[in-house]
Amino acid sequence: MTDPDRAARLSLRRHRAFATGLLAVMAGLAAAALALPPSPAAAILEAAARAGFIGGLADWFAVTALFRHPLGLPIPHTAILPRQKQRLGRALGRFVATRVFTETEVAGLLHRIDLPEILRRFLSDPQAARPAAAALATLLPRLLATVEDGRARRMVARIAPRLLGGPGAGIVVARALRGLVEGGRHQEAFGFVLGEFRTLLEGREEALRAAIEERVREQGGRLVGWAMGATIARRVLAALNAEMDRIGPDGSELRLAFDEWVRREITRLEEDPARAAELGAAIRRVVAHETVLAWLWDVWARLRHALEADLTRQHSRVTDWMEGALANLGTLLAEDAPTRARLDGAAGRIAASLLPSAQTRLADFIAEVVAGWDSATITENLELRVGPDLQFVRINGTLVGFLAGGMLEAGLLLAGRL
């Protein structure tokens, strides 16, 4: 495998060789100055070389002591970083979590990456949207199957009546009915019910006639029933059929009365909390009934089995539907700026809510990773990153010592002559 730190190793090796070579140059200059005939220049060179060598040697000791024991000697207060790796890990973790991974930085990152645009491009690409739709579709049966687990089923049985029959259920029903009424759908439903009722009357006309005749005999006696029962039954049925004929789709007194009653009840549900609560309680009782629950679970099971069967087909309708839904979402993100803004804001709020926990986990994670390093690993990792810069400390110390020693010796010689 290619060493990812190869360039850093070469850089450290070059800088270290240069700093060590400069130290050797100082030693060579000091030795050469001793061999020269006595003179002010030789004295200045010797003093400068000695100061440079001592400065470079001191800085070599300081730099080396950060990472290891100089010359392998267990000198106190050396090999500082390996011995303090746990404290270093905690400090580094806190710094990254609180100074780098901040709410401002995360919000700026989310704004720069433009999450709505990324999502739009993904959903607009059929080659990406189709696999995503297939993956989501395969999750549906598993999700539905988990609800049939015993504990989940009991939990849903407890929660569903409360959700569907809570204090706001009446308001929800009122709003739904208001939409139906504004669209005239309530009259369609009323017409359907009347049509079914008329079909029922036509099919049971003989039975109704017999029932009316029997009722007349019970109330008026056998003689009245024999004389007038058939006539009364025929007239009642004729009047009922005539009334049904007058209820046309364009309006009638019964339809107008039904429309007025529906609108009045909707208003009561919207304005009267007691009425809304009463409807909610009624819905809760219906949903909580064992028969209704059994029917709902039967519908649930049938839906899951239908989904499973559909997903086995080559051209799954569920997958096609999900792919279309994802494509519609991509179109919405492309054309609707408020939706993009809401998605961006939601991502920011979610990130802000999760950030404190993420900061703690990140700090702990960094501390655990650093604490888990052995001494050789932490020494190598740290030295590879900061070692080249620290070699310049050695180089600068050597050069500064050389210049300072030479200037000091020159100043002393000048003062002696004066």
pLDDT average, residue stretch 271-289? 68
Helix axes 103-113, 337-372, angle to 10 degrees: 130
Q: Let me know whether 308 and 193 are in one domain.
A: yes
pLDDT average, residue stretch 287-316? 73
Q: Let me know whether 303 and 411 are in one domain.
A: no
> What are 412's two structure tokens?
């002393």
Q: Let me know whether 76 and 188 are in one domain.
A: no
Confidence bin at 24 (pLDDT 50/70/90): very high
Residue 170's pLDDT is 61
1 pLDDT higher than 90:
no
Confidence bin at 197 (pLDDT 50/70/90): low
25 pLDDT higher than 90:
yes
Cα angle for residues 33, 36, 39 (degrees, 5° grid) = 90
Per-chain mean pLDDT for the chain: 75
Q: Let me know whether 147 and 206 are in one domain.
A: yes
163 pLDDT higher than 60:
no
Q: Let me know whether 157 and 24 are in one domain.
A: no
Q: Let me know whether 149 and 79 are in one domain.
A: no
Q: Let me know whether 57 and 173 are in one domain.
A: no
Cα angle for residues 139, 143, 148 (degrees, 5° grid) = 150
Unique residue bearing structure tokens 């270093």:
88
Q: Let me know whether 307 and 174 are in one domain.
A: yes
Residue 371's pLDDT is 75
Strand partners for 248: 251
22/377: higher pLDDT? 22
pLDDT tens figures, 326-362: 777 777 777 778 878 888 888 888 888 888 888 888 8
Q: Residues 6 or more apart from 20 whose CB is under 8 A from it?
A: 60
Confidence bin at 151 (pLDDT 50/70/90): low
414 pLDDT higher than 90:
no
Confidence bin at 181 (pLDDT 50/70/90): low
Cα–Cα distance, 272 to 176 (Å, whole number): 17
Confidence bin at 388 (pLDDT 50/70/90): confident
Is 364 within a domain?
Answer: no
Burial class of residue 390, CB neighbours in 10 A (0-12, 13-18, 19+)? buried
Q: Let me know whether 48 and 193 are in one domain.
A: no
Residue 386's pLDDT is 79
| Alpha helices in 98-149, H assignment, sequence order | 103-113, 115-124, 126-147
Residue 53's pLDDT is 92
Cα–Cα distance, 6 to 368 (Å, whole number): 26
> What are 340's two structure tokens?
């993009």
> What are 232's two structure tokens?
């009364």
pLDDT average, residue stretch 183-201? 63
Most confident of 185-199, 201-215, 286-300: 286-300
Sign of the torsion angle spanned by Cα atoms 318, 322, 327, 331: positive
221/101: higher pLDDT? 101
Q: Let me know whether 328 and 404 are in one domain.
A: no
Residue 384's pLDDT is 80
Cα–Cα distance, 287 to 397 (Å, whole number): 84
Is 290 within a domain?
Answer: yes
Residue type at 262?
Answer: V
Residue 64's pLDDT is 83
pLDDT tens figures, 41-80: 889 999 999 999 999 899 888 888 877 778 777 778 777 7
35/206: higher pLDDT? 35
89 pLDDT higher than 70:
yes
Residue 18's pLDDT is 92
310 pLDDT higher than 60:
yes
Three-class DSSP labels, 63-112: HHHHHCCHHHCCCCCCCHHHHCHHHHHHHHHHHHHHHHCCHHHHHHHHHH
Residue 77's pLDDT is 74
Is 365 within a domain?
Answer: no
Overall domain count for the chain? 2
Residue 121's pLDDT is 81
Q: Let me know whether 408 and 284 are in one domain.
A: no
Q: Which domain range does residue 294 map to?
A: 128-335
Confidence bin at 230 (pLDDT 50/70/90): low
180 pLDDT higher than 90:
no
Least confident of 61-65, 272-276, 304-308: 272-276
